[in-house]
Amino acid sequence: MKKTVKVVGAIIENENKEILCALRSTSMSQPNHWEFPGGKVEKKESVKEALEREIREELGCIIEFQSIFRDDVHEYDDIIVNLITAKCRIVSCQPNPVEHSKLIWLKRENLNSLRWAPADVNAVLKLVSEMANE
């Protein structure tokens, strides 16, 4: 039986309505795929606490959790990932890629131009469709 891992991803939008996208490094699983920054939820940690901790560790930033965006499950060959994405905003500092190869800000209509980690695809599709409905 495959192990299920609960992870969080931050959907961070800037004042220009661009979304922060993070490129997974070659030392990570799903290398060279884009994702929403975040990571594993630790025992007894809420989604909000996990996101705030992960973004502090991965990007060196303080964020404010706003709301859950999606709760998806994706089955990889060796693991099942329960990815909970949430909308957040940066409270202080500029994001710095501590663990990722690269960070970029993209308009919603351009999100589909990237090669996303499979677990993140449903959140990307919802973000793009929201833009089409605005």
What CATH number should be reported for the domain holding residue 44?
Answer: 3.90.79.10
| The predicted structure's pLDDT at residue 30 | 85
**Mean pLDDT estimate for the chain:** 94
pTM score? 0.93
Do strands 18-23 and 62-75 pair parallel, antiparallel, or not at all (unpaired)? Answer: unpaired
Q: Tokens 């693991």 sit at which residue?
A: 79
Residue 59 CA to residue 128 CA, distance in Å, equals 24
- Computed on alpha carbons and rounded to an integer, the radius of gyration of the chain in Å comes to 14
Residue-wise pLDDT for 58-102, tens only, equals: 999 999 999 999 999 999 999 999 999 999 999 998 999 988 999
Residue 112 CA to residue 13 CA, distance in Å, equals 16
The confidence band for 1, taking pLDDT boundaries of 50, 70 and 90, is: confident
Is residue 10's pLDDT more than 90?
yes
- More confident position, 9 or 134: 9
Residue-wise pLDDT for 29-50, tens only, equals: 888 999 999 999 999 999 999 9
Residue 38 CA to residue 61 CA, distance in Å, equals 12
Q: What is the DSSP string of 74-118?
A: EE-SSEEEEEEEEEEEEEES----SSSSEEEEEEGGGGGGS-B-G
Q: Which domain holds residue 28?
A: 3-132
Structurally, the chain folds into a number of domains equal to: 1
Is residue 108's pLDDT more than 90?
yes
